[in-house]
Every structure is written in C-alpha cells, then in structure tokens.
Structure 1
Amino acid sequence: MSPFIGELIGTMILIIFGGGVVAGVVLKGSKAEGAGWVVITIGWGLAVTMGVYAVGNFSGAHINPAVTLGLAASGDFPWSDVPYYITAQMIGAFIGACIVFFHYLAQWRKTEDQGAKLAVFSTDPAVRSYSANLVSEIIGTFILVLGLAFIGANEFTEGLNPLIVGLLIVAIGMSLGGTTGYAINPARDLGPRIAHFLLPIPGKGTSDWKYAWVPIVGPLIGGIYGGMFHKAVFLGEIGSMFWPMSVFIIILFIYAQMQNAREYNEANVINQKEHINAEKSV
C-alpha cells in the first residue's frame, strides 16, 4: 500500500468511527441517542486508534494535516510530501463522511434539528466568538502535536502506541473540547463539511461556511507551532521561525482577549437596553 492510499484509508476510518459516534448520539431514532459527550470523546479516541492501527505501517498514520505540518515543522517529515499527504487526508475524510451518511439513512428524516445534522459532519462552537474559537483550536492542536511527540519519545509494549494516541484524543476532548467541539484536524472538519453541502440530507440546512475557516486555520497554526515548540524547547534546536511564530501567537491571544472583552461589553449594553425597554413597557 502506498502512503497516499494509507492516509486516505486511515482518515476514512477516522471519520467513519468519529462521525458515526456523533450520529449515533445526536440523531433521532438511534439506539445511542442522548448518550452524551463522554461517549463522543471516547468514540473519537477509538476512531484515531483504529485509523493508526490500520495504516501506521504504511504512511505513519498522520490522518491529520495539522500533524503532517507539525512533523514537517519539527524536521521529522519532508515538506515536499506535505501536499501529497493532505490531499489524501481530505479525500479520505470526504469518503468517510459519505459512508456515515449512508449508514444512518433511516435517521435523517426523523431528525428535525439542523444543527444536530451538521454536527455529524463538522464542528461548531458552544459560544460563537471567532477569535476565541480560533484560540481554542490552536491550543487543542498544539497539545495534540506536543502530546504525539511525548508519546513518540517513550517506549511502549509493541502495538500499544495507537491506543495511547487514542487516549490522548480522549483527554483533549474531555478537557479542551467543550468550546469548539475540538476539530484539531482541518481534514476532519472540511472534508465532511463539503460532504454535508453536497449530500441529499433531508432538511439539512446551511453548512455554516462562515465558521468553516476556524477549524482549518486554528489547527494549522497550532500544529505548526507544536512542532516548532517541541523542537526548540525539548530538543534545543531553535529554528529561524520559532521566535517570530511565538510573537505571532502571543499577539493573536492578546487580540482574542481584547475582542472577547469588546463582545462582552456590547452584549451587556444590549441587555441593559432590553431591560430598560421591558421596564418601560410594563
């Protein structure tokens, strides 16, 4: 099997299990309906585990453009192969989402909630604030890439590494996933979002393209910086882009805080006006 096919199949498996567990929990008429966030995070962790088990020997099982870029930024993967891998990951994610659609054919018409249908395919924020959402995706992916580097630096019983990687995904989901649904993978979000847009899902509603850039840009930044950070701090090899990237991250976080404060103040002003108008109408 070529690395291209490996990444395609691995990412497809990731989405079949990951998108599948979300569908089982949120779609009406599913026996797993209402199982909750813990089931979703465990399902995604096992999805990654199975994807890595399936193709790790063929492609290294990146199954995530942010991981591919993080490894390239740390010098552990050739930049020339990055487009090749990302293309395979995108195709695999799209195919995986289509398979989930066909698996749950009987549940789509029973589900009226358009947001629930979209959640099967892509992420959305618990509180919509683009700058804050971007920061969440950066942090989550940074921890992912850093965690993968930590796992790679330790020796485990043969065949156990994919399970440890899966547990890392569960930990990220439980600890950091509540803000944006932790895409931490551009292919995982964009490929299925395109599938949602194209597939004949009954009453599906919008694919929320206004938000779609966040789970692409955030993971790419977090993945690249995670690779740079590990190389600089843990290996003592500071590249020419490490400090400029660090400054950029700091500025971005400060901007997000300022934007969040502005949005909070605007919301307070609106609430106060509504309260005054309500009192006048009494």
Structure 2
Amino acid sequence: MTPFFAEFIGTMILITLGAGVCAGVTLNKSLAQNSGWIVIGLGWGLAVAFAVYAVGGISGAHLNPAVTLALAFQGTFPWAEVPGYIIAQLLGAMVGATLVYLHYLPHWKATDDPGAKLGVFATGPAIDHPFSNVLSEMIGTFIFVLAMQAMGANAFTEGLNPLIVGFLVVSIGLSLGGTTGYAINPARDFGPRLAHFLLPIAGKGSSNWKYAWVPIVGPLLGGSFGGLFYSAVFKGVLTTAFWVVLVLIVVVLVIALQAGRKRTVNAAGKSVA
C-alpha cells in the first residue's frame, strides 16, 4: 500500500467512525439518539486512535491537512508530497461520509431537522461570530498539533501512541469543542460537507457554504503555527515561516472581525427597516 492510499484509507476510517457517532446521537430513531456530547467526544477520539493504528506505520497517519502542513513547515515532511496527501485525505473523508449516509439510510427521512443532518457531516458554530469562530478553530488545532508534537518527545509503551493521540482529541472536544464543533481538520469538515451537498439526503437543506471557510482556514493556520511554535520554543529553531504564519493569522482575524461587524450593521439596518 502506498502512503497516499494509506492516507485515503485512514481518513475514510476516521470519518466513518467520527461522523457515524454524530449520526447515532442526532438522527431520529437511532438507538443512540440523545446520548450526548461526551459520547460524541469519545467517539471521535476513538475514531482518530483506530485510524492511526490502521495506517500509522505506512503513511505516518496525518489524516489531516493541518498536520501535513505543520510537518512540512518543520522540514520533517517533503513539500512535494503535501498535495498528494491532502487530496487523499479529502477523498477519504468524502468516502467515509458516504458510508455513514448509507449506513443510516432510513434515518435521514425519519429526521425532520435539516441542521441535525448537516451536523452529521460538517461542523457549525454554536454562536455565529466569525472572529470567535475562526479563533476557536485556530486555538483548537494549535493545541492539537503542539500537544501531539510534545507527546512525540515522550516514550510510551509500544503501541500506545495512537491511543494517546485519541485521548488528546477527546480532551480538545470536551474542553474546546463546544464553540464550533472542533473540526481541527479541514478534510474532516470539507470532504463530508461536499458529500452532504452531493448526496441525495432526504430533506437535507443547505450545506452552509458561507461558514465552510472557517474550518479550513482556522485549522490550517492554527496547526501550522502549532508546529512552528513547537520548533521555536522546544527546539530553538525559529524560521521566517513562523513570522509569516503569525502575520497571516493576524490578517485573517482582522478580516473576520470586520466581517462580523459588517454583518451586525447590516442586520441592524434590516431590523430598523
């Protein structure tokens, strides 16, 4: 198996189990319906762990464009392989989402809420606030990459590393996930969101493309900065890329802040009219 195909398979497993737990908790007539956020957090953590177990020895189990970019910026992963990894991750995420759609086939029609259906596939904000939403995704992915790098410097009993990474995802989900649903992975959100758009899901409603940039840009910048921050602080290797990504983060946050203010002004004008 090639590393690219391993990334495809690993991401497919990740999304099948991760989106699957979301479907089980939210769709009507599921035996797991309403079992709660802790179940979702644990489900996603185990999904990451088992996906890493499946392909970690073949591709390194990035399963996430933010991780791939972070490693490339650190110089530990070749830039030439970045596009192939990201494409494989996106395709794997789409296939995983399609498997969840097929697995829960009769439940889509039994569920009236289109937002619940979209929530199986993609993330969304608890409060629609562009600045806070993209900042949340940046922070969550920054912590994910930084902690994952730090864990790599510790010696665990052989075979436990993927499980530790899974626990990290559970921790992020429980502590930081309540704001945006903690995508912390552009492939995890964009691939299933695209599948939601394309699949014939009964009463599915909008795929909310206006929000889709947040779980792409936030994790890419937050994850990249996490890797560069680890290199600078833990290893003493400070590169130009550190400052470039930091500037990009500031620029994106300023744009998001202005967009939020413009939206508020427009909404106020409509309410007055």
Question: Considering the TM-score relative to the shorter chain, is it more than 0.5?
Answer: yes
Residue pair 1:140, 1:182 contacting (<8 A) in 2 also: yes
Matches within 5 A, 1:3-22: 3-22=3-22
Q: Distance in 2 between matches of 1:260 and 1:211?
A: 12
Matched, 1:64 2:64: yes
Identity of aligned residues (%): 59
Residue pair 2:130, 2:257 contacting (<8 A) in 1 also: no
Query: Please, what is the CA RMSD of the aligned residues?
Result: 2.0
Q: Distance in 2 between matches of 1:135 and 1:92?
A: 27
Superposition deviation, residue 5 in structure 1: 1.0
Distance 1:194 1:260, change over 3 A: closer
Superposition deviation, residue 155 in structure 1: 0.6
Residue pair 1:74, 1:230 contacting (<8 A) in 2 also: no
Q: Distance in 2 between matches of 1:242 and 1:70?
A: 11
Superposition deviation, residue 247 in structure 1: 3.7
Residue pair 1:132, 1:260 contacting (<8 A) in 2 also: no
Matches within 5 A, 1:1-282: 1-250=1-250, 252-253=252-253
Superposition deviation, residue 244 in structure 1: 3.3
Residue pair 1:12, 1:95 contacting (<8 A) in 2 also: yes
Q: Distance in 2 between matches of 1:141 and 1:266?
A: 31
Per-residue CA deviation, residues 12-37 of structure 1 (Å, 9 max, x unaligned), is: 00001000000000000000000111
Distance 1:267 1:204, change over 3 A: closer
Superposition deviation, residue 261 in structure 1: 7.2
* TM-score, with length taken from structure 1: 0.91
Letter in 1 for 2:181: G
Q: Which has the larger radius of gyration?
A: 1
Letter in 2 for 1:199: L
Superposition deviation, residue 9 in structure 1: 0.4
Q: How many residues align?
A: 273
Distance 1:255 1:224, change over 3 A: same
Letter in 1 for 2:6: G
Structure 2 residue runs without a partner (length 5+): none
Letter in 2 for 1:10: G
Q: Distance in 2 between matches of 1:131 and 1:196?
A: 26
Superposition deviation, residue 262 in structure 1: 7.7
Structure 1 residue runs without a partner (length 5+): 275-282
Per-residue CA deviation, residues 64-112 of structure 1 (Å, 9 max, x unaligned), is: 0111001111111111110010111011000000000010012111100
